[in-house]
Amino acid sequence: MKRRPLIFGTAVAAAAVLALSGCAGSTGSDGDGDKPAPGSDAVDYGLVADGTLTVCSDIPYPPFEFEGGDNGTGYTGFDIELLDAIAKKLDLKLSVQDTGFEALQSGATLLAGTCDLGASAMTITEERKANIDFSDPYYDSLQSLLVRADSGIEGIDDLDGKNVGVQQGTTGEIYAKENAKGAELVQYPSDGELWPAMQSGQIDAILQDQPVNLVHEKADSDYKIVETYETDESYGFAFAKGEKTELREAINDALEELREDGEYDKIYDEFFAAN
């Protein structure tokens, strides 16, 4: 809330105000009247930590979020680097917390107030909108089917009697339930468990977001994507329902600026151009 100057009716009060004016530098003002200094409470949009944009994400989920990078959070990926650029637009630091996807997509983590927003390659759906507010879309995706190259599986119609790995609470799981007829669906909390299960032979296929399966295909030629599925999915950053409205609007504005100045394309190319 902006502080507005009080008008005193006496010369004594006015003199007192003038005498105290030399202390203005300690109030957080940057000298532009009511405009607060970057990082002060007045421009932090009710942030969990003053001057910091705190993000919850289910990690690893390459190429969207995984360990590494040099942004100071300990993590990188398309989601993370895009938010780092957004945070810079808002004159904030970025902090990332590893969080389970199920609690994140249900809105429970966001309502608990442990982070300002969720960023975890989360598809915007009407069901999730009942519990979550989303930013403008920032990425369009497909679903896909990853199998061993020598499995003989050529598509979703060959999954009858097969163990198919899905991530719990995702649109990939929903698509598999509706379309992988006769398959035994095996739920995992994240790709960090899905991929090792595939490599160890516990499951015959993974049905999940195409960019993530593509990372595995490129990393190991023993595996290949045999089908992709047009599901008209777009990802958005997630916010607690009915909260953080000003922050969400500021992030939307920053995202638009990044698209206009070409920075979005640079980040996109870093993670997807080779694909």
pLDDT tens digits along 99-158: 999 999 999 999 999 999 999 999 999 999 999 999 999 999 999 999 999 999 999 999
> Which pLDDT value is given to residue 16?
35
* CA atoms of 92 and 50, how far apart (whole Å): 9
Ranges of the chain with pLDDT below 50: 1-42, 275
CA distances from 38 to 34, 51, 87 (A): 12, 8, 12
**Which CATH architecture group holds 142-233?**
3-Layer(aba) Sandwich (3.40)
Domain ranges of the chain: 45-138+236-272, 142-233
Is residue 187 within 8 Å of residue 168, measured between CB atoms? yes
Domains 45-138+236-272 and 142-233 agree in fold: yes
> Which pLDDT value is given to residue 273?
73
Closest CA to 118 of 172, 58, 177, 56: 56
3.50.50.60, 3.40.190.10, 3.40.50.300, 3.40.50.1100: which CATH number matches 45-138+236-272? Answer: 3.40.190.10
